[in-house]
Amino acid sequence: MKKNIVEIFFAAKNFSAHVPLLPGCVSTGKTPDDIKSNILTAIQFHLEGIKEDGDKPPVAFRGKFELIFKFDTQSLLKYYKNVITGSALEKYSGINQKQLNHYANLHRKPRVEQIKKIQLAFHNLGKELMAVEL
């Protein structure tokens, strides 16, 4: 199954998404769950349009495909702000809560080093949660 990236961003008051391999294929939604549903509809519509024009869709969209949702740092923090506490993210990333909040609310853009710390924090938290057995 071919994997295709959908990039998710937060703009104004909505999440937005686009598919790099399908220029012009975009969607918006109030939540990432909305985006996941809406972008699939947009992709199907886009692929139908390509076929109607007599063109072939990109190889990655022929047959079965899987969507991989890639968040930018700000949209990821915005989405998980009400799921993971600021203190937990501070503990795992080493970045203070106030700074994380600035990133989540689009007041500041994180540097590459900060993005790596945030990504590692989410991965480490995920690993720790995956190790839990009940």
Ramachandran category for residue 131: left, alpha or beta (phi over 0 → left; psi -120 to 50 → alpha) = alpha
Same domain, 42 and 88: no
Same domain, 64 and 9: yes
Q: What pLDDT is attached to residue 78?
A: 86
Beta pairing partners, 4: 67
If pLDDT is split at 50, 70 and 90, which confidence band does 66 have? very high
Full residue range of the structural domain in which residue 121 is found: 73-130
Same domain, 67 and 77: no
Same domain, 63 and 80: no
Bridge-based pairing of strands 26-29 and 65-71 is unpaired
Same domain, 33 and 80: no
CA dist 56 and 78 (Å) reads 37
* Residues above pLDDT 70, as percent of the chain: 100
Name the token pair of 25.
């294929």
The predicted model scores a pTM of 0.80
Measured between alpha carbons, how far is residue 22 from residues 41, 65, 133 in Å?
Answer: 13, 13, 41
Name the token pair of 39.
């972008």
CATH number for the domain that contains residue 24: 3.30.160.250
Same domain, 79 and 62: no
CA dist 22 and 42 (Å) reads 10
Q: How many folded domains does the chain comprise?
A: 2
Same domain, 66 and 102: no
